[in-house]
Structure 1
Amino acid sequence: MKATKETLSPTRVKLTVEVPFDELKSSVDAAYRKLARDVRVSGFRPGKVPPRILDQRLGRGTILEEAINSALPRFYTDAVRQEEVDVLSPPEVGISSFSDGAPLVFTAEVDVRPDIALPDYDGLEVTVDATEVTEEQLQSQLTTLRERFAVLKPVERPVQAGDFISLDLSATVDGEAVEGADATGMSYEVGSGDLVDGLDEAVTGASEGESRTFQTELLAGEYAGSSTEVTVTIRGVKERELPELDDDFATTASEFDSLEELLEDVRERLDRGARLNQFNQARERILDSLIEWIDVPVPESVLDSEVEAREHRLFRELERLGLDRDSYLESLGQTEQEYRDELRQLAAKALRSQFILDTVINAEQIGVEQGELMEQVIGRAQRAGLSPEVFAQQISQGEGLASIMADTLRGKALNFLLEQVKVVDAEGNAVELALPRRPEAAAEADDAEADDEAEGVEEGAVAASADAGGSDARGAAASDTATDTDGSDAVAGDVSVSPAPNA
């Protein structure tokens, strides 16, 4: 077999493969054996029909077509290996020439990973926020902690923001009661905004026993999108009383014996959080800088697949939560086109980041040790609430383990980049990043980054799914494509053709 590669664009190549007829003979023989089992001919047992009878019944062209279709995946995969093609999509295959006894010549056009020239790391600099813990941050943390141990006390005054009220609700549309929209004795924190649009404004200033009516729009159910009249009656008003900040509170709210020890612990936690934030900022900004510096073309087919994968994840999450797409887009304040444009931009950025990190992996010969991979599996099993054994069984089916390995490698590549570039704060002071000791922490950041559209669900008052695992250009983005860098696992099942010409 002879194969030649022609570059059509930075992300697409054309393979021309010539196969001598002698190399097809084994496939022709296999085709005769297969058809001999499938074809019923009077006087012959299944599998015992002679080739000359099959030629008479089916025609030599049918035999050759069967042989070519079964052999093409093998010849295509051999050509991919020989020419070292880094495949990202199923091939488009066409027969150039073939006749009985003559060589088979076919072409295969396929999207490939672009060649990327990495810049000199010494010229890169990223800016992150400073880690200084402010008094405002400290007090905010303490207030949150005090709120957890607060007590609610009845008050005899009009409702104000922050109060906890007991209320009754009912709703009507065109005078008809909305089934399932009534409630009695419901507890609600005024100002939280997590019940019904317009409720906070309606109850603010009302007194116990008072009823108020307001208009809103239902987001789900039979009357979704309809203007609804809601009546709310205040049954009780309570305010939150925070405990005093003293040693007694420190003993109650923590394992510490004094307020001073508690304050020191809160400061340390804030400092660690700020340093982790620095690390995450640096990760994101080094990739942003590299994307700006490097021209990273993305194959349209791979981008389309990535967008489709993200759309599918979003659809599953909305379906699980009983929400429709229109309501979700309205919660984001986006039109359908605006959402699609943003989703495509996010997908393209994720793919460019993957391509850059994969180039770093190859250039620096970054690998994954067995212990690192096991840490990843155990960590993800814990987050999924499964035992490592059960989780390992689940990921062994499909490309789960390959995806985890890819995430781990990319996390290590990103850490490598952060060790090479200069990191400074907003005032130009050098920052020494606290890199995670385990690659798992880096992969977790990838999970969050790769699902920006899922974060949009959360912003729209929908709990986002942690499904992503950073969809891979070789995985969800191109689920039918090769997974190995040498293209050795290029899909063969998708390589088939119509009847060969001149067969």
Structure 2
Amino acid sequence: IENLRVEIPKVEFKEEMVQEEINRLREQHALWEPVDREIKEGDLVVIDYRVEDLESGETSEGETTVIVGQRFLREEIDRALLGKKEGEEVEVESVDLFDAEGKVVGKAKVKISIRAVKEKVLPEVSDDFAKELGLGDTWSSAEEKIRHMVKENLENYKKSLVEENVAKKLIELHEFEVPQTLLRRELGFLVDRRLRELSSFGIDTRYINIQGLAQELLPQAIANIKLRYILDKYAQTKNLQAEEKDLEEEYTKLAQAYGVSPEQIKADVQSRNLEEVIKGDVLRRKALEDIMSKVQVIEVEEKKEKEEKQDENT
């Protein structure tokens, strides 16, 4: 481990990062205001839809809210919505239907009624916006806190880059086949999680290419399993222990992620007999942190910056 070297892009604080964070906060707190005009990319639309299976004649109906042009809908439906207005209807005659494995099993006709069209309105930078963010009574104080937050996030980002590259290096150094049962389970977990994420955006997951999604997530599933094996072995070799304080910290992190109390998380874990799972996660985290403390980290300038400097020199 002591001889391992990993390279990460050299990332330094720049003042424009503060403005980028301010822009992100404005986007996050934007309001959607109704507009009386044709739909364009980036608009939020409220629609009623009716899907008819052209072979069986079966239909399904519903209502959803999506942002046009951000791949929440099938591309052909997105295109059909552009230029239309509230109150109008859109029909797409032929849309592929997929089964659970992602294979095309038929065609459907989709009919959409546009109930509302809204555009994004960003909040103005002001003392009121500072108060809304909970960052003080004046914008100047809020901006300083944002600057401090950006610097802190930058350090965390650099740490995550080291972690990512160390994990990648460990996987590259160890060639072995992963058990197919574990692989199917991990792949199923990743696919389910991605589908839940898409569903949370209002996307009808019945029209997602599951097979394509699984193929996309396969390398990640293999890497996840390999890394767990490697870190388990390292923790065992170094005789690392999951102490009580480590477990309490893990419960606190999980509680923050799920928006509940650490006591609730702990009780739930114990009731489901998942304490060994939590201990395993803690040991792997300690193993990775121990490895990260020993590898040599080299920060390198990104290629684009190097090429720009070479152009300047010539």
TM-score (structure 2 length as normaliser):
0.71
Matched, 1:129 2:9: yes
- Matched with 2:80 is 202
C-alpha deviation, 1:204, in angstroms: 0.9
Q: State the 1:305 CA deviation.
A: 4.8
Question: What are the superposed Cα offsets for residues 62-118 of structure 1, whole Å, 9 maximum, x if unpaired?
Answer: xxxxxxxxxxxxxxxxxxxxxxxxxxxxxxxxxxxxxxxxxxxxxxxxxxxxxxxxx
Partner of 2:293: 419
CA distance in 1, matches of 2:192, 2:113: 37
Higher helix share: 2
Indicate yes or no: 2:25 matched with 1:145: yes
Secondary structure, counterpart of 1:251 in structure 2: helix
Task: Give the equivalent residue in structure 1 for 2:307.
Answer: none
- Equivalent runs, 1:2-13 vs 2, <5 Å: none
Q: Contact 2:39–2:81 at 8 Å: present in 1 too?
A: yes
The question of whether the paired residues in 1 share the 8 Å contact of 2:251 and 2:266 is answered with no
Distance 2:191 2:168 in 1: 28
CA contact (8 A) 2:50 2:111 kept: yes
Q: 1:217 to 1:166 in 2, by over 3 A?
A: same
Instruction: Give the C-alpha shift of residue 171 in structure 1.
Output: 3.1
Which residue does 1:165 correspond to in 2?
A: 45
Verify: 1:330 aligned to 2:212, yes or no: yes
Aligned-partner SS, 1:232? strand
CA contact (8 A) 1:297 1:352 kept: no
Separation in 1, partners of 2:242, 2:5 = 27
Amino acid at match of 2:270: Q
How does 1:2-151 map onto structure 2 within 5 Å? Answer: 119=1, 121=2, 123-134=3-14, 137-151=17-31
Tell me, in whole angstroms, the C-alpha distance in 1 between the residues paired with 2:126 and 2:227.
50
CA drift at 1:285: 2.1
Normalising by structure 1, we get a TM-score of: 0.48
**Contact 2:39–2:83, Cα closer than 8 Å, also in 1:** yes
* Contact 1:171–1:177 (8 Å) recurs in 2: no
The verdict on how the C-alpha distance between 1:252 and 1:201 changes in structure 2, with shifts beyond 3 A counting, is: same
Task: Count residues in correspondence.
Answer: 289
Distance 1:264 1:244 in 2: 17
What secondary structure sits across from 1:157 in the alignment? Answer: coil
Tell me, yes or no, if structure 1 residue 265 matches structure 2 residue 265: no
Instruction: Provide the C-alpha distance between the structure 1 equivalents of 2:75 and 2:294, rounded to a whole number of angstroms.
Output: 50
Deviation at 1:306, TM superposition (A): 3.1
2:80 maps to a residue whose letter is A
For 2:98 and 2:252, the matched residues in 1 are separated by 40
> Structure 1 residues 191, 140: closer, same or farther in 2, change over 3 A?
farther
Q: Say whether residues 1:391 and 2:271 are aligned partners.
A: no
Shift of 1:229: 2.0
Deviation at 1:202, TM superposition (A): 0.9
Show the 5 A alignment for 1:393-472. 393-394=270-271, 397=273, 400-427=274-301
Matched residues in 1 for 2:54 and 2:61: separation? Answer: 14
Indicate conservation of the 8 Å contact 1:167/1:233, yes or no: yes
State how far apart, in whole Å, the 1-side matches of 2:51 and 2:218 are: 35
| Cα RMSD (Å) | 4.0
The equivalent of 1:486 in structure 2 is none
Q: Which runs of 5+ in 1 are unaligned?
A: 1-118, 429-503
CA distance in 2, matches of 1:131, 1:175: 55
> What is the CA–CA distance in structure 2 between the aligned matches of 1:254 and 1:206, rounded to whole Å?
39
Structure of higher CA gyration radius: 1
Find the aligned partners of 2:39 and 2:195 in 1 and give their Cα distance: 37
Aligned-residue offset at 1:412: 2.4
- C-alpha separation in 2, matches of 1:231 and 1:133: 50
Structure 1 CA distance for aligned equivalents of residues 229 and 235 of structure 2: 10
Question: How far apart are the structure 1 equivalents of 2:112 and 2:191?
Answer: 34
* 1:371 pairs with 2:237: no
- The alpha-carbon deviation at position 351 of structure 1 amounts to 2.1
Give the equivalent residue in structure 1 for 2:96: 217
Contact 1:131–1:275, Cα closer than 8 Å, also in 2: no
Residue 60 of structure 2 aligns to a residue whose secondary structure is coil
After superposition, what is the alpha-carbon deviation per residue over 1:234-275, rounded to whole angstroms, capped at 9, x for unaligned?
A: 344332222222223222333322222222222322322222
Describe the shift of the 1:139–1:198 C-alpha distance in structure 2 as closer, same or farther (beyond 3 A).
Answer: farther
Tell me, in whole angstroms, the C-alpha distance in 2 between the residues paired with 1:267 and 1:152: 28
Residue 209 of structure 1 contacts residue 234 of structure 1 at CA under 8 Å; is this kept in 2? yes
Does structure 1 residue 189 correspond to structure 2 residue 71? no
In structure 2, how many angstroms separate the alpha carbons of the residues matched to 1:286 and 1:264?
34
